[in-house]
Amino acid sequence: MIRLDPTKLEGWQLAEAAEKVARPIDRLGSELGLRADELLPAGRGLAKVDHRAVMERLKGSTRGRYVDVTAITPTPLGEGKTTTTIGLVQGLARIGKRVAGAIRQPSGGPTFNLKGSGAGGGLSQCIPLAPLSIRLTGDLDSITNAHNLAMVALTARMQHERNYDDRKLESLGLSRLDLDPGRVEMKWAIDFCAQTLRNINIGNGGKMDGYPMASGFQITASSELMAILAVSRNLADLRERIGKIVVAWDRRGREVTADDLEVAGAMTAWMADAVHPNLLQTMEGQPMLVHAGPFANIALGQSSVIADRMGTLLTDYLVTESGFGSDIGYEKFWNLKCRYSGLRPDAVVIVATIRALKSHGGGPRVRPGQPLDPAYTEKNLELVDKGCSNLLAHIDIVRKSGIEPVVCVNRIVTDSDEEIALVKRTADQAGAPFAMSDHWLKGGEGAVELAEAVVAACEQKPDFRFLYDLESTLGERIERIATEVYGAASVSYSPEARQKLERLDSDPRNRSLGLCMAKTNLSISHDPQLKGRPRGWELPIRDILLYRGAGLVVPVAGGILLLPGTGSRPAYRGIDVDTETGRIQGLF
């Protein structure tokens, strides 16, 4: 086992050192219980897993324990939820458990912007770092291309219907769809934070240059195809869901799907390999399944159902994660993902940091790319104490699902023992199990306390229950999430959102759809400036999107955007390549 000091080396340097002694991918697969023909090598230190073969072989096998990692409301820096997930996997291995992790694939948007890669940190990282952070096995590229192919099909059809009469269309094997340019449901996709592409005009020029209309881009993780990848059980399910994607509406108000555009099969061709989970490893050699994408504020924000179902059959403990705080990431895990997968969690971990608690206690604004205010690096018990209101809110949220959460302080090197003790007292008074974890600094050794707390939690018998049933209307579900999870006093709708909600609720087909809320990750409310545990506020719904293929309705709250912007101090300024070795440097 290598000995590295994360206080003296950058994250990419730690990963590079660990990669030199990493397990060969065939050995890693064998230790996970995979047969040679179930492993599809895809480069140095990574492979895809033929989930169809694995699931068929293990049909009827006993499932292992299922653990979800969520968090309190984070600062823009993130509070190390992926790092804690990886640290917990390492810690469980240290106490002799057969364990794997399931995490989401990092998006190029944050990787090259302000937040950096979602590969973990310190001595609890998923490696190899560079492939994980850039390209991996091409899943994100496949989603981007399949998504944009739908837009190509739509805009080409609109052009042809404008230029050709019905007889010409019939000679081409087409019937007129009479598409409404003012009701195009999709945008174009790109896996970067590119604010300049949020609103664009396309089709400028002559009649052979497309159909002129307003359009725009969304980040790939927010594509319905990402949600479909996350919730599908197999390739057949993926194909059926892609065919149901509502790309636009016709002038009579009828849905126009990918199947109607005769593009669903080609879109599935782009996604056929992406349906297989990716296999990587922790810095200490435990298997990590990486599949589907991030952004629970604007998307599902979960690792895939396929990866989780397979992982629980291959191990005694499968640790997965949900994006951002429990108000959005865990709420979607609880009420959406668990419905899709049929799995139920045995334990839930709420990750907290002293830094985030100080922010919720009234600390100065945390700005990515800028030095932290001394309030965050020096002892301040008053800020921590006030900020614990946010932690208590998240404990209550998880308890509504029938699970008693384990509170974990992800220790940062500047945290004082007194501050951590204060959080422990808060958790104790709330009746929640507590563990401090020092995995960033010590790897699995630092996560043993957390691992033992999770094992103890798994021995309990949770009374897992959904927040709402599928007989309730979409409006009732929105209200229940807003008031019981977020703590809002009421919900309001823009005229457009109200019209869409009434139309959706009037169609019995939509009762089976899940509700995937889109709102800020920086507050339990819709307003990123409201810290702690806000009370007496109103949740404004300004739009409602329909993801019929994924089986989701997406209410959009407040000013949340589907395409983030790049800041003034982006990570790409520090990323380069050693031209002698080809190694990528500067990722974090």
Q: Within this chain, do residues 451 and 344 fall inside the same structural domain, yes or no?
A: yes
CATH number at residue 379: 3.40.50.300
Nearest 10 degrees: Cα torsion 149, 150, 153, 158: -140
Among the candidates 401, 425, 458, a domain finishes at: 458
Q: Within this chain, do residues 179 and 322 fall inside the same structural domain, yes or no?
A: no
Q: Which residue has the tokens 């008031």?
A: 483
Q: Which residue has the tokens 């496949």?
A: 142
Domain membership of residue 90 (yes or no) is: yes
Domain membership of residue 467 (yes or no) is: no
Q: Within this chain, do residues 384 and 440 fall inside the same structural domain, yes or no?
A: yes
Q: Within this chain, do residues 366 and 267 fall inside the same structural domain, yes or no?
A: no
Q: Within this chain, do residues 25 and 169 fall inside the same structural domain, yes or no?
A: no
Domain membership of residue 463 (yes or no) is: no
Q: Within this chain, do residues 284 and 359 fall inside the same structural domain, yes or no?
A: yes
Q: Within this chain, do residues 257 and 161 fall inside the same structural domain, yes or no?
A: yes
Q: Within this chain, do residues 120 and 186 fall inside the same structural domain, yes or no?
A: no
* The token pair that represents 206 in the structure block: 């002559």
Domain membership of residue 568 (yes or no) is: no
Q: Within this chain, do residues 479 and 426 fall inside the same structural domain, yes or no?
A: no
Q: Which residues are registered as beta bridge partners of 515?
A: 553
Domain membership of residue 164 (yes or no) is: yes
Q: Within this chain, do residues 215 and 284 fall inside the same structural domain, yes or no?
A: no
Q: Within this chain, do residues 493 and 420 fall inside the same structural domain, yes or no?
A: no
DSSP string across 483-501 = IIII--SEEEE-HHHHHHH
Quote the CA–CA distance of 510 and 472 in Å, as a whole number.
11
Among the candidates 408, 423, 458, a domain finishes at: 458
Which residues, other chains included, contact 459 with Cβ-Cβ below 8 Å and sequence gap of 6+? none
Domain membership of residue 417 (yes or no) is: yes
Domain membership of residue 587 (yes or no) is: no
> How would you list the strands of the sheet with 552-557, edge to edge?
490-493, 538-547, 552-557, 514-515
> How would you list the strands of the sheet with 179-184, edge to edge?
179-184, 246-250, 255-257
Instruction: Look at the chain and report how many structural domains it folds into.
Output: 3
Quote the CA–CA distance of 290 and 132 in Å, as a whole number.
9
CATH number at residue 241: 3.30.1510.10
Quote the CA–CA distance of 109 and 115 in Å, as a whole number.
9
Comparing C-alpha atoms, which of 157, 348, 119 is closest to residue 247? Answer: 157
Domain membership of residue 406 (yes or no) is: yes
Quote the CA–CA distance of 515 and 555 in Å, as a whole number.
8
* The token pair that represents 191 in the structure block: 């896996």
**Do the beta carbons of residue 278 and residue 136 sit within 8 Å?**
yes
Written as tens digits, the pLDDT of the chain (588 aa) is 567 899 999 999 999 999 999 999 999 999 999 999 999 999 889 999 999 999 999 999 999 999 999 999 999 999 999 999 999 999 999 999 999 999 999 999 889 998 888 899 999 999 999 999 999 999 999 999 999 999 999 999 999 999 999 999 999 999 999 999 999 999 999 999 999 999 999 999 998 999 999 999 999 999 999 999 999 999 999 999 999 999 999 999 999 999 999 999 999 999 999 999 999 999 999 999 999 988 889 899 999 999 999 999 999 999 999 989 999 999 999 999 999 999 999 999 999 999 999 999 999 999 887 899 999 999 999 999 999 999 999 999 999 999 999 999 999 999 999 999 999 999 999 999 999 999 999 999 999 999 999 999 999 989 999 999 998 999 999 999 999 999 999 999 999 999 999 999 999 889 899 999 999 999 999 999 999 999 999 999 999 999 999 999 999 998 888 999 998 889 899 999 999 999 899 988
Q: Within this chain, do residues 89 and 181 fall inside the same structural domain, yes or no?
A: no
Quote the CA–CA distance of 140 and 221 in Å, as a whole number.
8
Among the candidates 222, 237, 271, a domain finishes at: 271
Is the pTM here over 0.85, yes or no?
Answer: yes
Which residue segment(s) compose the domain that 543 sits in? 474-557
